[in-house]
Amino acid sequence: MVESGFLDGSFVKLTLGRPAVPENALRKLLLRPVLIRGERQCSVVSRFLTRDETKNYPFGDALALVETVLGEAFMSANLFTESIEAQIELGGKDRLSISSTKRDPAPLNHDRNRVRWVDSNARYLKALDVTDARGKVRERMGDKFRQIERFVDLLASAFLESNLAARAATPGSSPILMCDMGSGKGYLTFAAYEYFRNIAKAEVVVNGVEAREDLVTLCNRVAGECEFSGLRFVRSTIGEYQLPALDILVALHACDTATDDALFAGVRNGAEIILAAPCCHKEIRPQVDRLHSDGPLRDVLRHGIFAERHAEMATDALRVLLLERAGYRVRVSEFVAAEHTAKNVMIIATRRKDGVADSLREEIDHRILELKNFYGIKHHRFEQLLVDGCGLGGAPHPAGTVSPV
């Protein structure tokens, strides 16, 4: 069927999933036709836990790839052509289901137009002075509007990959509960509420947490004007806020260890999705500086900007590992820079349906310890919060010796 779809031009897309090895970093292969320099080829996106890689193949090579990995690396396939939809499930009892359908031909442009998640005419954007009365983005707010679009794009991707999408589509299900910790002026909080209400068509309750009273007052006024009955803002610091059970936690540019407080709050309260854009990595920097005053990295770390970047990467790499150990699939993506900072990393975590195998947990423990030892990190707030909150099931290993897995 795949070959015939390739040959007669009816092929629309093919998805290979359900890795034969659950811990494999390569999660999916996504195939679709593209037109490159007038020649039809097949675009293959390899979706890893933390990144996507795209390569273009002649159809013959793409078909050979499918034949190689289906049944070996991947145990399911979903094929879509203009006239049929087929699903293959392998392992145990092999299953093949085919249904007739009518679908438009696949778009062949190489760089497809991005989905527009944000309507520039939205009332909240005008109220927050991002757009003018005609819905045109104000010149000074162009970067902010692009940040809002990128945030909703990442949120939508995480939502559709999570358990929440199926729950939201079930009649009578409970509303999705989201908290934005450190919501500021609420640009992204409003955008998230609008996405769930008007695009995802999901019942949602969103709380924005912000320490500055004037911004809380402003945002609650705008929410009332927009008739966003499920959106409210409360005045509190991240550390002091008593977070209820929730489904989605957002923490964007929470300074230094406030990011760790927010991540721990999400894990502790069972969030299905955690989105965090870390900022101001101050905790690890002095620990890195102390260890590497001598040694092979001294000529790297004696320059402040290099030392700062090492501290940022080490801090966030530990956060990712700790989230993975706590039962999340995590990827790191580029995020549009905020208005007053160059920080542009987004950590996107979705809770695993199958938990974490003991063998994988032990491997992650080993990797955490190796990273801490290399950089001389003796204290990491997120790790300590998880230990104190029984999220790790034991104290962290002392830095200095790597225990065997």
Angle at 320 between CA 335 and CA 308, to 5 degrees: 65
* pLDDT beyond 50 at 341: no
> Residue 285 belongs to what H/E stretch?
helix 285-291
Within-domain flag for 140: yes
Residues 132, 27 share a domain:
no
Residues 53, 170 share a domain:
no
Residues 244, 358 share a domain:
yes
**Percentage of the residues of the chain whose pLDDT score is greater than 70:** 87
CATH code of the domain in which 142 resides: 3.40.50.150
Residues 133, 81 share a domain:
no
* Alpha helical stretches, state H, 162-212: 164-168, 187-194
Within-domain flag for 61: yes
Within-domain flag for 339: yes
* pLDDT beyond 90 at 110: no
Residues 238, 205 share a domain:
yes
DSSP calls for 259-284: HHHHHHHHHHTT-SEEEEEEE---SS
CB 168 within 8 A of CB 176: yes
Q: How confident is the model at residue 217 (pLDDT cuts 50, 70, 90)?
A: very high
Within-domain flag for 292: yes
- Mean pLDDT for 229-251 is 91
DSSP calls for 50-93: S-EEEEEE-HHHHHHHHHHHBTTTEEEEEEEESSEEEEEE-SSS
> Residue 142 belongs to what H/E stretch?
helix 142-161
Residues 217, 145 share a domain:
yes
Within-domain flag for 105: no
Residues 284, 249 share a domain:
yes
Q: Which long-range contacts (CB under 8 A, 24 or more apart) does 251-254 make?
A: 251/180, 251/181, 251/182, 251/275, 251/276, 251/277, 252/151, 252/180, 252/182, 252/188, 252/276, 252/277, 252/338, 253/182, 253/277, 253/278, 253/279, 253/338, 253/341, 253/343, 254/181, 254/182, 254/278, 254/279
The model's pLDDT over 274-285, given as tens digits with 9 standing for 90+, comes to 999 887 777 877
Mean pLDDT of the chain: 83
Residues 201, 76 share a domain:
no
Q: How confident is the model at residue 405 (pLDDT cuts 50, 70, 90)?
A: very low
Q: How confident is the model at residue 52 (pLDDT cuts 50, 70, 90)?
A: confident
Residues 183, 287 share a domain:
yes
Residues 264, 228 share a domain:
yes
Angle at 152 between CA 146 and CA 155, to 5 degrees: 140
Q: How many structural domains is the chain composed of?
A: 2
- The residues, any chain, with a CB within 8 Å of residue 331's CB and separated by 6 or more, are 48, 49, 50, 51, 348
- The residues, any chain, with a CB within 8 Å of residue 50's CB and separated by 6 or more, are 25, 320, 330, 331, 332
Q: How confident is the model at residue 206 (pLDDT cuts 50, 70, 90)?
A: very high
Within-domain flag for 235: yes
Residues 258, 165 share a domain:
yes
Within-domain flag for 66: yes
Point out the domain boundary residue: 85, 100, 115.
100
Point out the domain boundary residue: 49, 66, 100.
100
Within-domain flag for 71: yes
CA atoms within 13 A on the CB side of 192: 29
Residues 345, 291 share a domain:
yes
- What pLDDT does residue 344 have? 74
* pLDDT beyond 80 at 63: yes
The model's pLDDT over 136-156, given as tens digits with 9 standing for 90+, comes to 999 899 889 988 998 998 899
The one-character DSSP state at 141 is G
- What pLDDT does residue 252 have? 86
DSSP calls for 238-263: TTT----S-SEEEEEEEETTHHHHHH
- What pLDDT does residue 391 have? 46
* pLDDT beyond 70 at 403: no
Q: Which domain holds residue 162?
A: 123-388
**Statement: the pTM of the whole predicted model exceeds 0.85:** no
Higher pLDDT, residue 10 or 2? 10
